[in-house]
Structure 1
Amino acid sequence: MIHFVVHEDGDSVGTVVVEGVTAGSPLNGWVMEPDHVIEMRTVSDIPIGHKIALKDLQPGDTVIKYGVDIGKVVAPIKAGEHLHVHNVKTKRW
């Protein structure tokens, strides 16, 4: 079963595509390009449609999704943690 989707290698986040992802759950993620599966364990509850960090990120780091910059980390994020507006902000303003 696939629990999250990553657009391409090099992305720092994936998107959860199932309900019920809870802290400590083992997850499978599909990396669409180049088509392979990765495994990780979540460290927090993550709602469907929200992002999961694929690696540890520090304040000031750039978040990459779809191979592009989608924002700046404003609080430390561990691999497997929920990544959302509480720890990432846009660089647009």
Structure 2
Amino acid sequence: MVGAQDNVATLTDDRRAATSLAGGGPVAPGVPYGHKVAIRAIPAGGDVVKYGVVIGRATADIAPGDHVHVHNVAEPA
């Protein structure tokens, strides 16, 4: 379940069958099952929040539906 403060969610189904977020936005192609996607825009330097907890900082702007992983997130300061 995604909390009100969360800006990422974990893909829990096969994206080949479903290619949009619950809110209707598209999911970027190639995001693996079990990985995180942005559910709203996250600016570079912004907190990445999952289950109400800061899990990292964006190292680049992340658009809704983008894959959120080590290539665009660093450990929180």
Query: Shift of the alpha carbon at 1:90?
Result: 0.7
In structure 2, C-alpha distance between the alignment counterparts of 1:68 and 1:26, rounded to whole Å: 24
Q: Does 1:66 align with 2:51?
A: yes
Q: Which blocks of at least 5 consecutive residues in structure 1 are unaligned?
A: 1-5, 29-37
Q: What is the rounded CA distance, in whole Å, between the counterparts of 2:32 and 2:50 in structure 1?
A: 18
Give the TM-score normalised by structure 1. Answer: 0.70
For structure 2, list consecutive stretches of 5 or more residues without a partner in the other structure: none
Cα distance in 2 for residues equivalent to 1:44 and 1:76: 18
Q: How does the TM-score come out when normalised to structure 2? A: 0.83
Instruction: Assess if the C-alpha contact under 8 Å between 1:44 and 1:80 holds in 2.
Output: no
Runs of 4+ in 1 over 3 A off after TM superposition: none
Note the aligned Cα RMSD (angstroms).
Answer: 1.7
Is this contact kept in 2: 1:73–1:88, CA < 8 A? yes
Count, aligned residues: 75
What residue number does 2:5 align with?
10
| % identity of equivalent residues | 35
Structure having the higher strand fraction is: 1
- Among 32, 42, 51, the residue aligned to 1:47: 32
